[in-house]
Amino acid sequence: MTSLISAIQSSNRNLPFAESFTVVPPTPLPFGPAAVLNKNPEEEEEGEGPQPVDIHDDLKREVAFYDTALEAVNLAREECEKVGIPFRRPEDFFAEMVKTDEHMAKVKDRLIFETKKIEAVQRRKSNKEQTLMAKERQAHRLAEKAKAKKDHMSAVEEWKKNAERSRGGLGGKVVDVEEEEDRLRGVGKKRAASDRKYGYGGKRGRFKQNDKKTLDDMSGFRPRGGFGGVGQKTVAGGSKKKGGKKRVGKRARDAARSAST
Amino acid sequence: MAKKRKQQLVEDTPQEQVDESVHDHADDDAAISSEEEDESPPAPAKAPPTASAITSDGRYHNKQRLLLISSRGVTARYRHLLEDLRTLIPHAKKESKLDVGKNYSGSGNGNGGGYGAAVNEIAEVRGCHTVMFLECRKRGQDGYLWLGRTCHANSQMQMAESTNASTKHLMISGGPSVKFHITNIHTMDELKLTGNCMKGSRPILSFDSQFSSNDPNLSHLQIIKHLMIDVFGTPRGHPKSKPFVDRVMAFYYADGKIWVRNYQILEQTATNAKEAQTQRKLTGQSSSTSLIEIGPRFVLNPIRIFRGSFGGQTLYVNEEFVNPNVVRSLEKKEKGERYVKRKGAEKKRKRYEEELTAVVPVDPLGDVFR
């Protein structure tokens, strides 16, 4: 032990601060057993105090190191002021640096790359969120639409019932809404004619194609134009039930009218 | 070149120069200490701490140099670390990698000085007072860092001081020296360490409070501290040093190891008055100080402290230190045991099955109903 003490004394060169630049920040490190070792009895009386930090927790360890070093820097700055050593490097003082510009460029590139990476990840995350939100919104909108339709239909039903009730005095005749609409919309003459010829609705295919009979049927043909002919099949067919009375000429019709009145 | 110089020295230097305490440290460390404890040095007179011999007037007085050297066979990581240290320490002298066989005899005294003697000799030739020697063993798996004052250093430094018995002892053997196991090395090349500083700027050396505590369990840290000041501290007024301070080198004792960090000091002044005011309110200063790590960072596990330079009486032994060789051999043994166990189990099973067939008698009616 004595040899250790003597060795300490002999190894100590007792340099003043200006030479040694040594600082011992008074705050003890917050690590587990070491912190306990350094604790004063008074501090122990105070109770819990800060929890000792696990030395193997990288982040916390480095933070503790950083804080201690920062404390040392502040102490050293004061000491330097006392001794008169300039501390801050002026802006216009250029000197060779430890790391080359090339290396620092690499460092910068890496920092930029990392920020970009972080941004990309965030963007991806937000995009994902947005698509999810959009999906939800779309579903919501569809549900709303369906509901609106349902409401409308039920309103129509209601109105129908009301209308039925109110028309109850008029013989209870119900107006079929669809038929009414059809009537209002109106079907073209041509359409009506072909419907008469071929029938309406049902399967298409060969039923609506010409067959031998209809192909030869020229009864509907009017060389002077006009569509009415289609329906005159029956006339051509020879049965003269409908067409028994032939329309007379205009003069005759006028004469007949004047005679009747 | 270095070898030539060495050989020259072998002829020139008188034998007393290399003390008997300088040993082949390639031998077991324990052997050194047991040998040394027999010849205990004369009890040192408790001299009051001497006032420093250096006048500090801003000129270059503290003319100490550091020999930065490694053994042969260091891996790239260690080599980079040494390169970093060389750029950071302007008073370091470079020397080619040391290659000494086990039977190297320092100064021709025949008992095998080994690395220690060789390093001391080189230091003397280069006029270095302190040595940092990185030794690599087991094909670069284990790195050992030696820090120490050389014989040369103490004889010069203390020549002017008193010539009492204790200092005389040191005069001959140099020292103290410390052997560390170096782990967790991160060099400056790593892009995560983003700081930068002027080449040769004087670092503030920050030691945490345990380095100056009076606890007898931690008193060895004081020796380490004094050595670190010499090794890492740039002498004031050194021609290659810069007049401003922009980095702090921090040493922490935690978990029984010394953690070393190197930070850049970044001072930012506020750009406008409003910011400056808020800054002043917060910290009391108009500029904010922050630190950025420059590197390198590493962890030193002290193994042993010697009184002499690369040998001599052991002042401190780290009881908790487990040699990495032991760790590896244990691992291997465990693996071997697994094999032995499996083989044993196989044998046992075989024997058991054989016994079973032997015990069950042959049934005479076994094949009647077949």
Of the given ranges (A122-136, B154-168, B288-302), which has the lowest mean pLDDT?
Answer: B154-168
Mean pLDDT of all residues belonging to chain B:
79
Which of B229, B114, B117, B132 is closest to B179 using CA atoms? B132
Check if the beta carbon of residue B84 is closer than 8 Å to that of residue B187: yes
B242 and chain A: CB distance < 8 Å anywhere? yes
Contact A7 B259 (CB under 8 A): no
Instruction: List B residues 111-150 in contact with A (Cβ-Cβ < 8 A).
Output: 149
Say if residue B133's pLDDT is above 70: yes
Q: A10 vs B170: CB contact, 8 Å cut-off? A: yes
| Residue A19 to residue B263, Cβ atoms within 8 A | no
Confidence bin at B53 (pLDDT 50/70/90): low
Q: Is the pLDDT of residue B322 over 80?
A: yes
Percentage of residues in chain B having pLDDT higher than 90 = 46
pLDDT at position B102, please?
57
The span from the CA of B249 to the CA of B246, in Å, is 10
Q: Which residues of B276-315 are buried (b: 16+ CB within 10 A; e: fewer)?
A: beebeeeeeeeeeeebebbbbbbbbbbbbbbbbbbbbbbb
What residues of chain B, 332 to 361, have a C-beta less than 8 Å from chain A? none
**In angstroms, what separates the C-alpha of A140 from chain B's closest C-alpha?**
48
- Is A69 close to B235, i.e. CB distance below 8 A? no
For chain A, positions 64-103, list CB contacts with chain B under 8 A. 65-66, 68-70, 72-74, 76, 80, 83, 85-90, 93, 95-99, 103
For residues B113 and B18, is the Cβ–Cβ distance under 8 A?
Answer: yes
What is the mean pLDDT of the segment spanning B191-214? Answer: 92
Under the banding of pLDDT at 50, 70 and 90, the label for residue B370 is low
Nearest CB neighbour to A68, from listed B175, B199, B206: B206
Interface test with A, best of B183, B191, B247, B320 (most A CBs within 10 A): B191
The pLDDT value recorded for residue A123 is: 96
pLDDT digits (tens, 9 = 90+) for B22-41: 444 444 444 444 443 344 44
Any idea which of A202-216, B134-148, B172-186, B259-273 has the lowest mean pLDDT? A202-216
Whether the per-residue pLDDT at B19 is higher than 70: the answer is: no
**Average pLDDT, integer, range B58-74:** 89
Query: Are the CB atoms for B318 and B256 separated by under 8 Å?
Result: yes
The pLDDT tens digits of the residues spanning A196-218 come to 777 777 777 676 777 787 788 77
Distance from CA of B205 to the nearest CA of A (A): 5
pLDDT for A242: 52
Q: Supply the pLDDT for residue A53.
A: 84
Token pair, residue B236, equals: 């004031």
Q: Give the chain B residue whose CA is nearest to the CA of A19.
A: B236
Q: Give the residue among B216, B223, B43, B75 at the shortest CA–CA distance from B142.
A: B75
Segments of chain A with pLDDT less than 50 = 34-35, 37, 39-48, 229-241
B160 touches chain A (CB under 8 A): no
CB–CB of B46 and A5 under 8 A?
Answer: yes
Q: Is residue B308 classed as helix, strand or coil in its secondary structure?
A: strand
Which chain A residues contact residue B157 at CB under 8 A? 13
Residues of chain B with Cβ-Cβ distance to A5 below 8 Å are 44, 46, 219
pLDDT of B117: 83
Interface of A with B in 113-172 (CB under 8 A): none
Mean pLDDT of B159-166: 44
* Phi-psi sector, B52: left (phi>0), alpha (psi -120 to 50), beta: beta
State the Cα–Cα distance between residues B314 and B306, nearest whole angstrom. 5
How far, in Å, CA of B112 to CA of B312, rounded? 15
Q: How high is the ipTM of this complex? A: 0.75
Average pLDDT of B195-207?
Answer: 93
Residues of A in contact with B167 (CB under 8 A): 10
Q: Most B CBs within 10 Å: which of A1, A12, A13, A110, as the mutation test of the B interface?
A: A13
Q: Can you give the pLDDT at residue B51?
A: 53
Chain A CB contacts of B315 under 8 Å are 3-4, 7
Of the candidates A1, A19, A31, the beta carbon closest to that of B236 is on A19
Give the SS3 label for residue B271: coil
User: For position A178, what pLDDT does the model report?
Assistant: 61
B130/B312: higher pLDDT: B130
Q: Using one digit for the tens of pLDDT, what is the confidence trace for B330-343?
A: 999 999 999 999 99
Mean pLDDT within B65-85: 92
Rounded to whole angstroms, how far apart are CA atoms B339 and A94? 65
pLDDT at B258: 95
Q: What is the pLDDT of residue B174?
A: 76
Strands B66-70 and B92-94 turn out to be: parallel
CA distance A190 to A195: 8
Between B13 and A1, the higher pLDDT residue:
A1
In three-state secondary structure terms, A104 is: helix
> What share of chain B has pLDDT > 70, as a percent?
74
Which residues on adjacent β-strands are paired with residue B181? B144, B301
pLDDT value for B31: 40
What pLDDT, on the 0 to 100 scale, is given for residue A34? 47
Q: Do B206 and A72 touch (CB under 8 A)?
A: yes
B165 confidence band (pLDDT: 50, 70, 90): very low
Per-residue pLDDT at B121: 87
Question: Closest Cα to residue A40, out of A53, A28, A52?
Answer: A28
Q: Which residues contact B277 (CB under 8 A, 6 or more apart)?
A: none
